[in-house]
């Protein structure tokens, strides 16, 4: 079975990163694509785990080399999904989660057929504001920018395939996990499905053809 590229977007503070991490803990068949960014490392973040922290020149060189599936500018910094991060996970049959903003999600939808886009919605405006204010690294200016960006991003939900409300974390993780399972069962994703069905049909048709005429089946009705 082929792995699915699953995009999770939400306004900053919407909870998509936590959902992605929890999904990874629950499912060994899911990998996380570590993005590259030019923004400064926050306390507690680890290079190569949370992001690949690059200088603007390093980032630009990778753009030039075609290393990104998508990239976008957000909050004054560059962010991008490295092709290599995604491909090496898909190759071993894992699903891959991308935690990216809406411009990047749009690029993935255009460039990667079969990608599944999920928008994580905060339960309310008040809750989103509370979560954003709780981020100590935000200056008033950057908080204002993120609030305004959130208003814009919420206008893009209709471009996504699914929406999950992040009210209770474990339920939201279960909903995303169920989306992965449903998409995996999609007819269009089944490799060798036609051959398999042909095989079953041939076997059943041969059984029908091989029945002698007018033989009564046990328990069958008298004609």
Which residues of this protein are in contact with ligand 5GP, per CB under 6 A? 12, 35, 39, 70, 72, 74, 79-81, 99-101, 103-104
**80 vs 122 by CB, closer to ligand 5GP:** 80
Residue with tokens 């891959």: 96
Smallest separation (angstroms) from ligand 5GP to the CB of 47 = 13
- The residue (of 24 and 184) whose beta carbon lies closer to ligand 5GP is 24
In the bound complex, what is the minimum distance in angstroms from residue 201's beta carbon to ligand 5GP?
Answer: 45
Strand order across the 95-99 sheet: 30-32, 95-99, 5-9, 116-121, 162-165
Q: How far is the CB of 105 from ligand 5GP (least distance, A)?
A: 7
Instruction: Pull the structure tokens for residue 84.
Output: 């290599």
Residue closer to ligand 5GP, measured from CB, 137 or 214: 137
CB 13 → ligand 5GP: shortest distance, Å? 9
* Burial per residue of 114-131, b for 16 or more beta-carbon CB atoms within 10 angstroms, e otherwise: ebbbbbbbbeeeeebeeb
CB of 177 to ligand 5GP, least distance (A): 19
Compute the least distance from the CB of residue 74 to ligand 5GP, in Å. 5
* Angle formed by the axes of helices 140-153 and 125-133, nearest 10°: 150
> Between 3 and 104, whose beta carbon lies closer to ligand 5GP?
104
Residue 73 or 189 with smaller CB distance to ligand 5GP: 73
C-beta closer to ligand 5GP: residue 31 or 101: 101
Contact residues for 30 (Cβ-Cβ < 8 A; gap 6+): 6, 23, 24, 94, 95, 96, 97, 180
């Amino acid at each position: 079975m082929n792995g699915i590229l699953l995009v999770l977007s939400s306004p900053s503070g919407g909870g998509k990163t936590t959902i992605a991490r929890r999904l990874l803990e629950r499912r060994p068949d899911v990998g996380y694509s570590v993005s590259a960014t030019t923004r400064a490392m926050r306390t507690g973040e680890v290079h190569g785990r949370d992001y690949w922290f690059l200088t603007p020149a390093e980032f630009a060189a990778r753009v030039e080399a075609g290393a990104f599936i998508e990239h976008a500018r957000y909050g004054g910094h560059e962010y991008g999904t490295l092709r290599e991060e995604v491909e090496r996970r898909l190759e071993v049959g894992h699903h891959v989660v991308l935690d990216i903003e809406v411009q990047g999600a749009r690029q993935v939808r255009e460039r990667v057929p079969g990608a599944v886009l999920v928008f994580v919605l905060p339960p309310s405006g008040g809750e989103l504001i509370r979560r954003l204010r709780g981020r100590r690294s935000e200056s008033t200016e950057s908080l204002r920018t993120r609030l305004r960006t959130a208003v814009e991003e919420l206008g893009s939900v209709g471009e996504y395939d699914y929406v999950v409300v992040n009210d209770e974390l474990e339920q939201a993780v279960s909903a995303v996990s169920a989306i992965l399972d449903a998409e995996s069962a999609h007819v269009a994703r089944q490799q060798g499905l036609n051959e398999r069905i042909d095989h079953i049909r041939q076997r059943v048709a041969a059984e029908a053809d091989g029945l002698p005429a007018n033989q009564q089946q046990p328990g069958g009705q008298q004609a």
